[in-house]
Amino acid sequence: MDLLTQLLVAAISSGTPLLFATLGGILIERSGIMQLGAEGLMLMGAVIACMTYIHTGSLGWTLLAVFVVSAALGLLHSFLTVTLRANQVVSGLAMTLFGSGLSAYLGKSITGTPIPGAVPKINLGFLDDVPIIGDMFAHLDILTWFSFALVIAAHLFIHRTSFGLHLRAIGDNPATADVMGIPVQLFRYGYIIVGSMLIGLAGADLLLIYSPTWIEGMTAGRGWIAVALIIFARWNPIRALFCAYFFGAMDTIGFKIQLIGSAIPSYFLKMIPYIVTILVLMYLGWRSRNKPSGSPEALGVPYIREQRF
Amino acid sequence: MKEQPASGTLQLDPSASSVRRRLGFRFEIDPARKESPWWMTIVSVFLALVTCAIFIAANGKSPLVVYEKMFRGAFMTEFGITETLVKAIPLLLCGLGVAIAYRIAVWNIGAEGQFAAGAIGATAVTIYFPDLPMYATIPLMVVFAIVTGGVWGALTALPKMYFQVNELITSLMLNYVALLLLDYLVFGPWKDPKGFNFPGTPMFGAAQSLPVLGDTRLHLGLVFALVIVVLYWFTVKYTRWGYELRLIGANQDAARNAGINIKRHILIVMIASGAVAGIAGMSEVSGVTHRLMYGISPGYGYTAIIVAWIAKLNPFGLVVSSVLFGGLIVGGYSVQTLGLPSSISSMLQGAILFFLIAGNMVSKFRLRRNG
C-alpha cells in the first residue's frame, strides 16, 4: 500500500465511529432535540460491545445488546426532554456523566482484554482494479460498508420521503406540524431512540474495529467531536461523511507524523483533533455570520402544546 | 430556553382532550411554580442510590453493605472526615467557577482544563523561581494560577463572543488540550531528574506548600474556598455586576434590550470561572500532592458540574454539596477493599444528576381535576 492509501484507510477506520455518531446526532437534532450525551452513549456502546463479545463471541448478539442498551438510554433522554421538557443541555450532560461513570464501573473487570478480529472484512472483487481507492476497498469491514449504506439511506430518508419531511417539520416548527396532525412527541421519541442506537453503534464500532480493547474513557472526546461535526456538516448526512473522514484523518495524522520520526513531542500531535475542532467551528461561525447555519429552527426549545405564541 | 407556560389552554387535538376528560384529571405545568421544593433534592439522591443499588447487586454485592461502608469511610472516622474535606476543596472551588458561568447560561464544562491550567501556572512559579521565601511564593503561585486559569477560560469565551461557537464544545476540547499539555510537562521538561521516571515535577519545598492544620492533610485552600464563597454571594447579591448577571440569567432578551453588553459579561464570567478553577488547581498541587503530576485530577472538573447543579448555583448550598460529593469520592475509594471499582462514585454522581433534573421538572407539574 502506498502512503495515500494508508492515510485513506486510517481516516476511514477512525472516521467511521464519528460518522455513526454524527448520523445519529443529525437524526435527533433534526427533530429539534439537542443531543449532548453522545460521549456517554458511545462509552456505553463500547463497554456493552466489549462485555457481550467476550461472553458470547458473536457479532450479532453484540450489536443487539448495544442497540438495546442505547435505545434504553435514548428512551431516558426522550422522557426527560420531550415529556418532562427538561433543559436539553443539562440532560445531555447528565447522560455523558452517567455514561462515563457506569461504563467505567461495568468495564472494570474487562479492562485490557483484547478482542481482535470481531468484525469480518468484505472484499468486493470487482472494485480491486480501481486506482488508489481499489486497494482501500479491500480493507473495509461490514460496519464500514453499513455506514456507507446508512449515509445514503439517511440522505434519501430526510430529503426524499414524506417521513423525512415530517422530521424536518417537527424540528423547524413543531406547533405547525402538530396542527397538521403529525404526532410531534411520538416522532421525537422515535428519532431520539433510533439516533441514540446509532451513537451506541459508534461506540461499538470504535471498540470492535479501531482499538479493540476496553479502556476507561476510551472515546477521549470523540462524542463531543461528533457534536461539533453535526454543526460542521450542517445537519446533512452526505456532508457528515466527508467531515467525519476529515476528522478521522486529523486523528491519525499525528500518529503518522510520529512514525516518520518528527521532533515534535507526541503530546502536541495528540492535541491536533481538539484544536482543529475549535478552529473549524470558529471558521464556520465567521463564514455564516450573515446567513443561517442550517440548524433546525426549534432546536433546543421544548415544545409545549398548551403554550400560546 | 423559551419556557413560559401560559395558563390558557389551546385545544388543538379534540381526541386527546376527550381522553383526558374521561380520566377526570390531567397533568399540566403549573405556571406559578418556578422552584422545586427543597426535599426534591433528597428524594433525587435517594432514588439515585436505589438505581445504583441494582448495578451493585448485579455485581454480586449487597448494596446496603456497600453504602454503609462508603458512608463510614467518608464521614465516620477522623481520617475520613479530613479526607472528605480535602476532596471538597477543589470541588467547591471548581463548582463555584462553573456556577458563575451557569448563572448566565454559559455552559462551561471546562473546569477540568482550567483546573489543570491553574496547577501548571502555580507549578511554573516553583520551577522558575525556586528560591523565593514563602510569603512571596504562595501569593505569586495564586496569581499565576488565576492568570493561567483565567486565560484558559477566556479561550472558551472568545470563540463564543466573536464566532458564535458553542462553548460546550470549546471548553471540553480545551480540557483535553490542557491535560495533554500537563502530561507533556510532567513526562518531559519538568520531570523530576531524581524521580525514578515518575511522571511528576520535583517535590515542592516547605516554602512552596500551603500550611496544613495540625498533622492532618487539611490545608489553607479551605480558607481560599470559603473566602470565594462569601465573595460570590456578596457580588451576585449586592453589586451592580451581580444584578446584571441575575438579569441576564432571568431573561437574556430583556437584558439585551436594557442595554447590557452580554458579550462583555460572557468574557468576564468565563475569566472569573477559569480563575476560580485555577485556584483549585493551585491549592491541589501546593496543598495536597506537593508536586505537579500525571493524573492530578480524578475528574474534579466534571463532578463540580453536578455539585453546582445540586446546590442550584447557591454558594452556601455549594458548601454542603461539595462536602457530600467529597464524601462520595472518599467513600468510593473505601469500597475498593470490598473488590468494587471506585468508579462506583462517578456512576452515582451521574444518576443523581439525572434524578435531580427529572425531579425539578416533575415538581413543576400539577394534577388538576377537569371541570
| Residue of higher predicted confidence among B7 and A278 | A278
Calculate how close chain B gets to A134, using CA atoms only, in Å. 35
Interface probe, candidates A34, A84, A88, A309, chain B, greatest B C-beta count within 10 A = A84
- In percent, the amount of chain A with pLDDT more than 70 equals 89
Query: In this complex, do B354 and A285 lie within 8 Å of one another by their Cβ atoms?
Result: no
Residue range A227-254: mean pLDDT, rounded: 85
Residue range B354-370: mean pLDDT, rounded: 77
Which chain A residues are Cβ-neighbours of B177 within 8 angstroms?
Answer: 271, 274-275
Chain B contact present for A180, CB below 8 A:
no
pLDDT of res. B88: 92
| Residue of higher predicted confidence among B138 and A133 | B138
Query: In this complex, do A36 and B168 lie within 8 Å of one another by their Cβ atoms?
Result: yes
Chain B contact present for A165, CB below 8 A:
no
Calculate how close chain A gets to B17, using CA atoms only, in Å. 11
- The pLDDT tens digits for B52-110 are 888 888 777 788 888 888 888 888 888 888 889 999 999 999 999 999 998 888 888 88
Please say if the pLDDT value at position B370 is more than 70: no
Residue range B285-314: mean pLDDT, rounded: 86
Predicted TM-score (pTM) of the model is 0.84
Q: Containing domain of residue A146, as a range?
A: 3-123+132-287
- Buried residues in B288-310 as b, exposed as e (16+ CB within 10 A): bebbbbeebbbbbbbbbbbbbbb
**How far is it, in rounded angstroms, from Cα B298 to Cα B346?**
10
CATH at A263: 1.10.3470.10
pLDDT averaged over every residue in chain B = 83
- The answer to whether position A304 is within a domain reads no
| Residue of higher predicted confidence among A298 and B25 | A298
Please say if the pLDDT value at position A135 is more than 80: no
pLDDT of res. B230: 94
CB count within 10 Å of CB B215 equals 7
The helix (run of H) or strand (run of E) holding residue B369 is strand B365-369
- The pLDDT tens digits for B174-191 are 998 999 999 999 888 888
* Contact between residue B311 and residue B95 where contact means Cβ atoms under 8 Å apart: yes
**CB-CB: which of A228, A271, A286 is closest to B169?**
A228
pLDDT band per the 50, 70, 90 thresholds, residue B153: very high
Chain B contact present for A75, CB below 8 A:
no
**DSSP-derived secondary structure letter, B28:** E
* Contact between residue A102 and residue A95 where contact means Cβ atoms under 8 Å apart: no
| Residue of higher predicted confidence among B33 and A186 | A186
**How far is it, in rounded angstroms, from Cα A89 to Cα A81?**
9
| Residue of higher predicted confidence among A122 and B98 | B98
Query: In this complex, do A102 and B6 lie within 8 Å of one another by their Cβ atoms?
Result: no
Interface probe, candidates B34, B161, B169, B310, chain A, greatest A C-beta count within 10 A = B169
- The answer to whether position A307 is within a domain reads no
Question: For A232, which residue in chain B has the nearest alpha carbon?
Answer: B165
Cell of B102: 451557569
**CB-CB: which of B12, B184, B343 is closest to A179?**
B12
Please say if the pLDDT value at position A230 is more than 80: yes
pLDDT of res. B12: 47
- The pLDDT tens digits for A79-101 are 888 888 888 888 888 888 888 88
**CB-CB: which of A93, A101, A271 is closest to B343?**
A101
Query: In this complex, do A224 and B173 lie within 8 Å of one another by their Cβ atoms?
Result: yes
DSSP alpha helices (H): ranges in chain B? 14-23, 39-58, 63-71, 78-103, 111-128, 134-163, 167-187, 221-238, 240-250, 252-257, 262-284, 300-310, 315-334, 344-362
Please say if the pLDDT value at position A132 is more than 80: no
Closest alpha carbon to A226 in B169, B163, B301, B109? B169
Residue range B26-46: mean pLDDT, rounded: 73
- In chain A, the number of structural domains is 1
pLDDT of res. A110: 79
- The answer to whether position A167 is within a domain reads yes
- The pLDDT tens digits for B208-228 are 888 887 777 888 888 999 999
Query: In this complex, do A98 and B350 lie within 8 Å of one another by their Cβ atoms?
Result: yes
pLDDT of res. B295: 82
